[in-house]
Each structure stands twice: as C-alpha cells, then as structure tokens.
A and B are shown apart, each in its own frame.
Chain A
C-alpha cells in the first residue's frame, strides 16, 4: 500500500497500482451477489414470470400475458375481493401513520426531557411489546377485548363507561381499526427509539440559542426540533409503509385467513394467502397468487420510489 502514497501512483489515478485488480474485486463481491441473486432476485423474477401463466383445460401451464391481472382488476369474481383488500390495507396504513407517528414523536419528546427520572425504564417498557410475537400480542388483545371473558368491559364499567363497550373486534365497522391500533401498540416503540435517538443528537447549543433568541419550548419543538428529526420520521414512515403492505401475521393470528367478519379485515397479505394456497372451499391458484404478489411488489416499489425521490432529494438539498 505504500506505493499508493507516492506521487507517481496518484498521477495514474483510479487504475493505479494501489487499487486491487478487478478480478480480486469480483471475487470479494461474488458471495454477496450470489446469495442476493439466489434468494431475492430469482424468486422475484420467478414470481413475475409465474403471474403471466395460467393452467389450460388440459391441465398444462401456458403463457397468458396480462390476463391474470385483468381478471384481478376487472373480473367481479376477483376484483371485489382485491379492491376490498387494497382499500383495507390502505386504511391499515393510514391509521398507522396517523396514530403511530404522533404518539412516537410525543413519547420521544417526553423521553428526551431533561431531568426525567427512570428514563431507561420507560424506554424499555414501551419498546417491550415490539419484542413479543405477533401471535401473543393478538391473543392477549383478543382476551382483553372479548365480550365474554375480557377485562375491558368490566374496567370500562368501573369508570362509568360500560355503556360504551362493544365487541369491537367482532364488528365489521370497527374490527380493522382495532387491529390497526393493536399493531400500533405493539410497534410504536421502534419509531419512538429512532426519533428519540435523532432528538438527542440535536446539539444543545441550538436549543440554547433559540431560548436566548426568545423562543419558548413549544416553538422550539415545532420550528427547530421537529424539522431536524423530519428525516427520521420519513424513514419511519417508509418502514411502516413497507411493513403494512406486507402485513399478514397479525390478521391471520386474530382473524384467520378469512379475515372476518365478512372480509372486513382482509388485507393484501391475507388475500394473497387464500389466493395462492387456497382456503377451505377455495382452491389454490399459484398463477393468480403470483399476480397478487406482483401487484403488492409494485405498490411497495412505487412507495419507496416516491420516498427516495421526494424525501432523499430534499435531504440532499439541505446538505450540499
């Protein structure tokens, strides 16, 4: 490597003797590229390929072009369920964004209050549910909310709100909202930790300067701290988006693959599961399933692309 330090090597630039030859670079890249190709690229391409095939009357697989997608979007046998799942999934995501982010920001702000005692305890306690299995969380909340043996009706009666109780998980109108809130409850610790880390990274000098400048704590929060943690909030949002449109486990654990009542909690993950593997009277259709998976992939890709273009570019603009 000492050669690289001489002026001679510098003149030769990037291809200088200090750089290892390309063959060596390729050798070191090979393991990662191989693993990524076998376990990510290949299944993705295979899924997309599968989504363009169908089984003909003779039971043989043949190329069908975009027929599966057209059926999915327009054939009432499929499209009703598909659009229902997509709408539910969108609501699932909107509730996460509207509830999880503000709560996470508020908790992070409280956690970074100077002079807070037992900070580590609160942080751990709030983060704890994120380490639990989704199955356990679903089961516990089902018990809590159960109209038969749940504690919630009793607790609400005790404070005079008994009349407000309803079997929310069993109602078409509220089941999805309740499931979303359960998921928020479980995972709010993760965005909270990320935002907390971003908040404590803001130099004290900035808040001191703003205080001397005559700003109150409220104003400092809105005009200094929040804009400075916006990149983290953006990151949290895109992670939530990806997680929500890939979600499956919580609904399956609480409601099963039929996502009842009456498909009111059906999201793309559960819809895909029934389509691909089949469920009860419905026979599995791998090609249609692949089409659903491809649509999910495109939705997530689009979301991430919007995030990268809009958010990341603005970030670059601020730190040229």
Chain B
C-alpha cells in the first residue's frame, strides 16, 4: 500500500474544463470518499488516476513516484466500475483471474489468490457461473474480488453500490468497511450516498463543478462546513438556510442551522410558524414548519412527540449551533 498525491490536476475535454486544479493527498491505508453532485467530475478524476485518460495539467504521484506517463497496467491500481464491467463470456473465476493471467502469475498462485478472495467475499459456490447467472449483489462481489486478487496499491471504486437495493447496499457497505480493515488498503471511493460517505470514510472530499470544495473527516465536514455548498450538501435532511434581514442582524448574508439543532417549543422561540407536515421515520420525525418572513424550516424531533399539521409552534436554535456565511458563501 502506498500514499497518493495529486498536484494541480486539470482536465479539459474540447473547450470545457472538467477538472480544475485538484490537489489532494491520500495517506497510506486511508479510506477517502469523494462526493459531489452528478457531473462534477468524480469519474473523470478516477479515470485520470487509473491512467485511462491523460491529464491536461498537473501531476500524479504514487509512493513519491510520478506516474503521469505510466500506462494503466503499470500503475498497480485496481478499479471497480459502476457497471461492474464483468467480462460476460467468462465465469466468475476467470473474471477474477483475468488480471493475474495478464500478469503471467503461475497457475497455483492464481488459484490460491482467487480462492482466497472468493472465501473473503463468500463467492465460493458461484465461481463457475457467468455474470449473467449472478444477482446484482453477487456481480458486485465478483467485481470487488477481481480488484482484490491483484493485491493493488490503490483501489478505486466508482459508485460501486448504486445499482443495489437499499438492504443489499447496507450489507455491502459493511462488507467494504470490513475489507478495508482486513486488507489495510488505500481506497478512493466515489459515491452519491451520504450514509455511505459518512460511515466508510476516514476523510471525505466534497467536489463541485470540477473543484474540491472541502476535505475533512466526516465529523469535521458535518460540524464545520467551510462554505454554503458543503453545508447544504452534507447532511440529510438539508441544513436550513435563512437569508435577509435576520441574517444581516448577525452580520451575515446567510444563516445555517441543522434540523437537529432546532428546538420546537409551544410557548416561545426565535421564529414562530405553523406546522405544514410531519414526516415520521419511527425513531425521529422531520417537522416542516412554515415561518412567515423566514421561510420553511425543518426541525428534527423525537419520534414520539405528538405534533400535527396546522399547529402553531415556535422554533429556536440551540446555542452556538447557528452557522454564519458571508455573501460569497464562505463561513464566517
């Protein structure tokens, strides 16, 4: 396993700049998750690191060595694609052995590594099947198996769980977390899913429009977003934003407060309004309150609190939980 360093990476396709000045360091054995809206360049970044596309500017280092000009085969990187990209005419075993055969390993060693990976991923009974005869989750595991048998220095995952149903997603997420501990692998992982990002990551990188907005541990990003984009992107339901005169009174352009930091009171509070809707999730409820002059605020409440649409309530932020942002969206 090695550390990876990106310095000022840029990528342009035709006239449009898809990645701008991306710099990032990934420590040895670190699990870094890349999040960002669709089209912000996450896959493009992975392809640059894997060597499938050439960078327009900047450098990529692995273990201190510049690898810009190495072909994909020589980089010691394994990639798991969103579509799995399993070879349809080969059995699961042959799929997993493909890279090892290309590397001209001897037969016994290939056999041993494939069996070992199959054991870790619980694929032993499925090795002779072709991808068409496997379920989505099983294909997914074969794709991961194909990556781990090569014992690469770096794993790249491009939204590997997005084709799975919710239950399987949670299982596979735990599986990947377990693999990371077991293999002590360096991993760069792309996802759209908040829960995946928060639970898996040692560090999260938030991207937007070809740039890195902020990098930090999940708790850092959650508690201390540096700008409006990160504040709004991380956390579900989204952070409440309040602009206008109320923000100006606190010397800010926008105020932000997370739903769980808004207290609902029947008697007093900073904002008063009417309950529009209550979303019951069991343990919690999301209470949508329309506050005249402020807008719609969402508060998170314990699930057993009885609130009904049409009720008049007051909302107040917990002390010290109000975030302030200036006109450019930067946190103050």
A: which residues have CB within 8 A of B?
203, 205-206, 208-216, 219, 223-224, 227-228, 318-320
Contacts and interface: CB of A to CB of B under 8 A. Distances in A.
A203 B85 contact: yes
B102 A319 contact: no
Contact of B133 (A209, A210, A215, A320): A320
Nearest to A223: B98
B88 A318 contact: yes
Contacts of B102: 210, 213-216, 219
Nearest to B81: A205
B132 interface: yes
A213 B85 CA distance: 11
B72 to A, nearest CB: 5
Contact of A212 (B52, B87, B130, B132): B52
Interface in B40-76: 47, 50-52, 71-73
B83 interface: yes
A120 B217 CA distance: 52
B158 to A, nearest CB: 10
A203 B78 CA distance: 19
A261 B130 CA distance: 54
Contact of B87 (A214, A219, A224, A320): A224
A318 B52 contact: no
Nearest to A228: B89
A205 B83 CA distance: 8
Contacts of B77: 212
A214 B103 contact: yes
Given A210-B98, A214-B73, A215-B98, A318 B85 contact: no
B88 A212 contact: no
Contact of B78 (A212, A219, A320): A212
List of 3 A-B pairs having minimum Cβ-Cβ separation, nearest first = A213-B99, A209-B85, A205-B85
Nearest to A209: B85
B289 interface: no
Contacts of B150: 213-214
Interface in B116-137: 130, 132-133
A211 B89 contact: no
A212 B89 contact: no
26 contacts: A205-B85, A206-B87, A208-B79, A208-B85, A209-B79, A209-B146, A211-B52, A211-B71, A212-B51, A212-B77, A212-B78, A212-B79, A213-B73, A213-B78, A213-B99, A213-B150, A214-B102, A214-B150, A215-B102, A219-B102, A223-B98, A228-B89, A318-B89, A319-B88, A320-B132, A320-B133
Contacts of B85: 203, 205-206, 208-209
A208 B130 contact: no
Contacts of A216: 73, 102
A213 B104 CA distance: 12
A208 B47 CA distance: 9
Contacts of B81: 205, 208-209
Nearest to B158: A205
A19 to B, nearest CB: 31
Given A211-B71, A212-B50, 18 more contacts: A203-B83, A203-B85, A208-B81, A209-B79, A209-B146, A210-B98, A211-B51, A211-B73, A212-B52, A212-B72, A213-B78, A215-B99, A216-B73, A216-B102, A219-B102, A318-B88, A319-B132, A320-B133
Nearest to B143: A209
A117 B274 CA distance: 65
Contacts of B89: 227-228, 318
Nearest to B50: A212
Contacts of A205: 81, 83, 85
A169 to B, nearest CB: 43
Contacts of B83: 203, 205
Contacts of A215: 73, 98-99, 102
A286 to B, nearest CB: 50
B133 A213 contact: no
A318 B51 CA distance: 32
A318 to B, nearest CB: 6
Contacts of B87: 206, 209-210, 224
Contact of B146 (A211, A213, A219, A228): A213
Contacts of B99: 213-215
A214 B147 CA distance: 11
A274 B302 CA distance: 96
Contacts of A227: 89
A224 B99 CA distance: 12
A210 B85 CA distance: 9
Contacts of A224: 87
A215 B50 CA distance: 14
A149 to B, nearest CB: 52
Contacts of A212: 50-52, 72-73, 77-79
Given A211-B72, A212-B52, A228 B98 contact: no
A228 B88 contact: yes
B274 to A, nearest CB: 43
